[in-house]
Each structure stands twice: as C-alpha cells, then as structure tokens.
Structure 1
Amino acid sequence: MITLREVQSSDLDRFFEFQQDADAAHMAGFASTNPSDRSIFDHHWHELLSSDDTIVRTIDFDGEPVGSIAAFEDEDSREIMFWTDKRFWGRGLTRSAVTRFLEDFPERPVSARVVVDNGGTLSILQALGFREIGRESSFSNVRAEVVEEILLQLD
C-alpha cells in the first residue's frame, strides 16, 4: 500500500542511497555534480524542508520509504518533482503516489520538467493529464552535456 507522509530525518539516509544509483541519476538528468557528497545533499534537503513555499512528502510502500515527491513555487505555478528507488520502477507505485499527491494538493496549474528520454516519468505525467507546453535545453551535470527537457503543465 502506498502512503504519503511528512519526511522524517531517517528518510534522508534512504534518499541519499537512492541518489547513488547512476542509472537513476542519469534518467533524472539533474542531480548534484557530486552525488556522493553528503554535505551537498544535506544542504539541498535542508532548503527543501525549511521552505514555506515547498510541499515535500515521503512515498511509503508497506511502511518502507521508497521515494519522495515535492512541489515548489516556480514563477506562476507549482513545479512537481519526484524520485523513486529504482527497485520499484515499473510497478505503478510512482504513478499512484503522484496521483495521491495531486489529490491532496489540488492547487493548479502544476508544472513539471522531464528529460526527453525519460519515458517512464513522461508516461506517468501524461497519463495524469499533464500536457506539453514547450521544450528547453539545459546543461545536465549528471550527463555532462546539454539535454532537451519537455515542459509540461496540468491545469
């Protein structure tokens, strides 16, 4: 069973482990330049958790933290981002968690960004009604190259 809950300090150790997976970081396209540097990770999460403009939840599956989901203020809308442990990809857990998150926080519009070759995330967002509103090129530290991102929005 999927649940969303407040992030606990013990979750951060798991989130840090998830970030170490090179395949997952590559797929996300955007992560720390040095994903093994815990101080950078801790700084990033401190900023997320202490921001009044950011909503952050842990994705739990049967009592185990398997990912995170957040929405932060970005210009005229909230932008959503999420990360799920690679062991749980392809099982519908992420889609279920994003669905629940969007139900809990019905503020619209909500935007998202996806690297063009991240088919799993793109599929989840499109299935939930996000539509493409543009494309943008950005430098990816993880990939050490410029990547194309699809910009999406849910009204």
Structure 2
Amino acid sequence: MTNTVITLIKTEKEHLELFFQFQLDKEGSYMAAFMPKDTNDKAAYIERYAGYLLDATKNMCTIKVNGVIAGSIGKFIMNNEAWITYWIDRPFWGQGIATAALEDFLKIEITRPIYAGVAFDNQGSQKVLEKCGFVRIAADKGFANARQAEIEEYIYKLAD
C-alpha cells in the first residue's frame, strides 16, 4: 500500500448510487452472502440507505482510496447490540484497504462491545476482523439470499 491514502468521510446520499453498483457484483455479493432479497431494485436500495443516513443510531462512512470511493463501512444496532458492516469494491480487494479502513473506523466509532458477522468461507473478512482485534465467539446459521441457501455465519466480537 505504498503511497496509498485511505480516508473515511461521512456517507452522503450521492454515494449511494455507487454503493448500489458495488453490491451488484456477483462475487462480492456471494462473499457478503447475507444480502437483501432483491439487490436489483435500485429505488428500494437508495430509499433504504438514505433513511439510514438520517438514523442517529447508525454511523455510515464512505471509504476513499487516493480520493476514489472504494467502499463503505458502518455501525448499526441489532437486538440492542452494536454491529459493524463494510463493503470493499472488488478491484480494491487484497490490498489491505479493509483492514486500514476498519482500524480507522474503530477510532471514530468507540461503541464497545461491537460485533460482526461473516460467512464461514469469507476468509478475507475473517482475517480483516482478526487483524483489528475481533475474536470469533460463536457460529450461527442463517439464510443467505445471495446464495439461496442456509449457511454458517461466524460471529466476531471486539470487546475494547
């Protein structure tokens, strides 16, 4: 990552168009696994995430690499617990961007504990979480829309 500048900025509504395009990537959505039922409904996607931007319980950031939008990262609340989610556009995979972005995000988002879920076979995201101090604490099963099957999901936790 020599000379690579990674920055996090507050997500703006105009970023959602690009995020919608990112999630259409078949390999990316396969790895993410747990996706909405209809990922092709752009209006529904924009409406849902635009609402999230107004939700004070969510913290949504856009990841930029050398000034180019490369992904998103955010915190949300589920069952009264803080969870983290992120998406890196496939051309940026394998460059340490997710790890650097998560490290930076965890300096901004100080809620602890914070959890993350990842598909059992998404070794890239598992490594990112572990490098950032998350510990695998459980496994669960859930229906993965992107795979049209029930799969195992690993649950990670960052305690401090």
* TM-score normalised by length of structure 1: 0.95
- Which stretch of the first structure deviates more once superposed, 28-37 or 109-118? 28-37
**How far apart, CA to CA, are the structure 1 residues paired with 2:126 and 2:76?**
19
Q: Could you tell me whether the CA contact under 8 Å between 2:136 and 2:155 is conserved in 1?
A: yes
Q: Following TM superposition, by how much is the alpha carbon of 1:39 offset from its aligned partner in structure 2, in angstroms?
A: 1.7
Match of 1:114 among 108, 118, 127: 118
Within 5 A, what are the aligned runs for 1:1-155? 1-155=5-159
Q: Following TM superposition, by how much is the alpha carbon of 1:76 offset from its aligned partner in structure 2, in angstroms?
A: 4.5
Q: Could you tell me whether the CA contact under 8 Å between 2:13 and 2:53 is conserved in 1?
A: no
Q: Could you tell me whether the CA contact under 8 Å between 2:17 and 2:46 is conserved in 1?
A: no
The unaligned stretches of length 5 or more in structure 1 are none
**How far apart, CA to CA, are the structure 1 residues paired with 2:111 and 2:101?**
17
- Which stretch of the first structure deviates more once superposed, 73-82 or 18-27? 73-82
Q: Following TM superposition, by how much is the alpha carbon of 1:65 offset from its aligned partner in structure 2, in angstroms?
A: 0.9
Q: Following TM superposition, by how much is the alpha carbon of 1:13 offset from its aligned partner in structure 2, in angstroms?
A: 1.3
* RMSD value, Cα: 1.1
* TM-score normalised by length of structure 2: 0.92
**How far apart, CA to CA, are the structure 2 residues paired with 1:17 and 1:75?**
29
Q: Could you tell me whether the CA contact under 8 Å between 1:77 and 1:108 is conserved in 2?
A: no
- Which amino acid in structure 2 is aligned with residue 98 of structure 1? L
Residue 117 of structure 1 aligns to a residue whose secondary structure is coil
Report sequence identity in percent: 31
* Structure 1 outlier segments of 4+, above 4 Å: none
The unaligned stretches of length 5 or more in structure 2 are none
**How far apart, CA to CA, are the structure 1 residues paired with 2:153 and 2:21?**
25
Q: Following TM superposition, by how much is the alpha carbon of 1:50 offset from its aligned partner in structure 2, in angstroms?
A: 1.6
**How far apart, CA to CA, are the structure 2 residues paired with 1:74 and 1:32?**
16
Q: Could you tell me whether the CA contact under 8 Å between 2:7 and 2:64 is conserved in 1?
A: yes
- Which amino acid in structure 1 is aligned with residue 136 of structure 2? E
Q: Could you tell me whether the CA contact under 8 Å between 1:130 and 1:153 is conserved in 2?
A: yes
